[in-house]
Every structure is written in structure tokens, then in C-alpha cells.
Amino acid sequence: MSSIEFEGVRKVYDGDVVAVEDFDLEIEGGEFLTLVGPSGSGKSTLLRMVAGLEEITGGTISIGGERVNKLPPRHRDIAMVFQSYALYPHLSVRENMAFGLKRSTDLPDDEIYDRVEEAAELMGIPELLDDRPKQLSGGQQQRVATGRAIVRQPAVFLFDEPLSNLDAKLRKHMRTELQRIQQELETTAIYVTHDQEEAMTMSDRIAILNHGELQQVGTPREVYNRPRNLFVGQFIGSPSMNVFDIEYEPTDDGGRLVGDIDLPIDSERAERIEAAGFNRMKLGVRPEDISVSETRTEGTISAGVDIVEPLGARDLLYFDIGEDDGIVNEGIPDPDEEGEAAPDVEVEERKAFIEPEAIPQDTAEVFLDLNLDQAHLFDADSGLSLAYADERREVAPSA
């Protein structure tokens, strides 16, 4: 099982487009690691550098302990599965799956075809071996493309959004299939996706990228429960975290968070904020950590009810918090008016998962309980989470 190591990896296109910056990551042999991040954050570039399809501007990539910076793709023991399956239309499925090995090795034909049969078994497509690609559905083509990668018995699988052309149901099914196969073959895998549900369900670890820089790497649970910074907090989780602009104010028995909302906090939390030196902050509360309160207490906020969407097991409440809710929507011209494009203003939508029918119909205002034990505090300037500021202090040498 081959490990993959990135050390200070950097990629600059055309002399000045920095696509990846100072990227360090160690992927264990047999691990399934997913790269996520917004469009243009450098995911494909990283994958292509591992494959050898893109030159590395700086740093080192090693596979199985061997530095591969200058190694041509065919010597890297890697198979890549893309979003487009790129099957040869004039060849049968069997020939498509055998093609790579026939070209790149001296293996005897019967061994190659044995491997094709095995891979077809594993992918559940032995009955398709004599078909042509155009006779296959999207899901079947996906299986053939993956089967073709398996035939090569590579040390590393690279997946670049392999499921994005499939419908939602098939995508879910193929997720489990790919995971099962990767585990059975004990191959190391790097998987790129836009779909964070995919990332959460398939991966041993998730690496989150923004502007070519690694923001955090951890198990799905770690990055969800302990986001290192505001970016990760907002990127992981759907619908995304509600963010409130707040400042800290000390009081006699702890402190208060004031700004978009006004809530008391206990002395333990107040001490941690003071020790971290945070003042202007963002409070992140996930939709699942908000509930409807029967009564107004000091620990609740009042909110306007915008929409309640019944989702079955629970309802999704869209709410607002009045004048100071940070929602920038003044003066947005009507996008339908000719010649007037809507400006690039972020309109925040606040959301909470609530018990079904927790709000009677036609209710305009509710009291909401924010579960502060599950909430995240981030420094407004650096974006760093308070949880990690605590850690930083613990490891800092005492003065």
C-alpha cells in the first residue's frame, strides 16, 4: 500500500496564477482522502500533479516513499477516473478495459483478459463485456471506466468528480460501490468532489482547500465538529452554519455576546475568549443546533419567520433577526429591470432545523434557542476558531 506525501508543494500557472501554495499533507497507504473546496481552489491541479499530468512548480510529491516530481505518468503506478469516462466508442467494453494494459505492459493477452473478467465481476458488469459504450447507461459507463482503472491494479486511484454525471440515486449507490472496491483492493485513493455529502460519507479524511491553501484536514467528524476556521465551518455542513457578528463584553458573572444577537455566556467561556484576546467575533451556529423555545428567556433570541419548509422528519425554518441581522439587501436593483444586473452582494439566509409543526401556521415571530455548547466562535479578523486558539496557547512555551 503506497503512501502519498506532499511537502511544500506549489503550482504557478503562466508565471503568475498561483493555484496551489505551500501544500503539506501525508496520505497513508490504503487511505481514502477526499479533497474539497470551492471552484478554482486547486483540487484538480493537485490531483493532476500527483498523476504527473501537470508539472510541479515547487516542493516534492512522493508516492510510496519515492520522489516522483520528474517521473512520467506511466511510471507512477496510478490510475485516474474522470468525470467524463472517455471510453473508445468503436471498442467493446472488454477491449476498452484491456486497452491500457495492452499498450503499457508486456503481459500476455490471456492474463490481461483474466484481469478484465475479474474487474468486471468486481464492478458487477460481466454481462456487458461484449457491448459497445453507446449501448450503456451513464451508470454502466461509469462502472466500465472504474473497471478499466482497476484492471491496471494501481497502487493509487485518483478520482476527479467521477460521479457528477450520474443522477442522485445512482450517485449514492456508486458511492458505496467505489468505497467497497477501494477497501477490497486496499488501494490508496484521492477523491475530488464538489459534493460534500459524498465527501462526508466516503472518506477516511477530508482535506479542505481554499485559494490553493490547505485549511484543515481531518476525519469527517472532526472537520464538522471542530472546524479550524470560519471558512471550514461554513464550507462543511449543509445547509451551512448561521453566522452572527458579535462582540464580547465582560460582565460581573461572565460575559455577553452582543451585536446581531445579545446573549449571556458563562464565566468559563468568557475566560477562554479573554485569554484568546478575541473581541470582534463571528458566532457560528449550525441549523441543527437551533430549536424553537416556548417562552422568551435571557438565553433566547427573537426571530421573524420567513418560510417553514416541511422535510418529513423535520422542518426547515428560514428566519431573520430584524434590523441588525447583517442581511445586506438595501438598494438591490430589480434583476428583471433591463440593463440592471444585481450587484454582488451576499444575502444571508438564516436557517434552523426544527421539530415538525413546532410553529403554528401564520406565526410571524418565534423565540429561538441557540445551543451555545455546539456553537463555534471565530476571530473576526483571522477567522481562527476559539477551540484552536486555546490549543495554540497550550502548546506555546510559557513566558
Which residues of the chain form contacts with ligand ATP (CB under 6 A)? 13-14, 17, 19, 37, 39-45
Q: How far is CA 335 from CA 306, 332, 342, 344, in A?
A: 21, 8, 5, 12
Residue 19 or 352 having the CB closest to ligand ATP: 19
Smallest gap from Cβ 232 to ligand ATP, in A, equals 16
Residue 205 or 282 having the CB closest to ligand ATP: 205
Q: How far is CA 293 from CA 110, 188, 355, in A?
A: 70, 48, 11
Residue 14 or 127 having the CB closest to ligand ATP: 14
Q: Which of 150, 144, 158, 165 lies closest to 88, judged by CA?
A: 144
Cell of 264: 449571556
Cell of 88: 473508445
Q: Which of 198, 96, 207, 211 lies closest to 142, judged by CA?
A: 96
Residue type, 377: L
Residue 41 or 229 having the CB closest to ligand ATP: 41
Question: Which sign does the torsion angle of CA 28, 33, 38, 40 carry?
Answer: positive
Smallest gap from Cβ 85 to ligand ATP, in A, equals 17
Smallest gap from Cβ 17 to ligand ATP, in A, equals 5
Whether 132 and 89 have beta carbons less than 8 Å apart is answered as yes
Cell of 217: 484536514
Smallest gap from Cβ 51 to ligand ATP, in A, equals 13
Smallest gap from Cβ 34 to ligand ATP, in A, equals 13
Residue 207 or 359 having the CB closest to ligand ATP: 207
Smallest gap from Cβ 121 to ligand ATP, in A, equals 33
Smallest gap from Cβ 45 to ligand ATP, in A, equals 3
Residue 217 or 270 having the CB closest to ligand ATP: 217
Whether 247 and 259 have beta carbons less than 8 Å apart is answered as yes
Residue 194 or 221 having the CB closest to ligand ATP: 194
> HSE on the CB side for 130, CA within 13 Å?
1
Query: Hey, which residues does 379 pair with through a beta bridge?
Result: 281
For residues 235 and 42, give the distance between their C-alpha atoms in angstroms, rounded to a whole number: 16
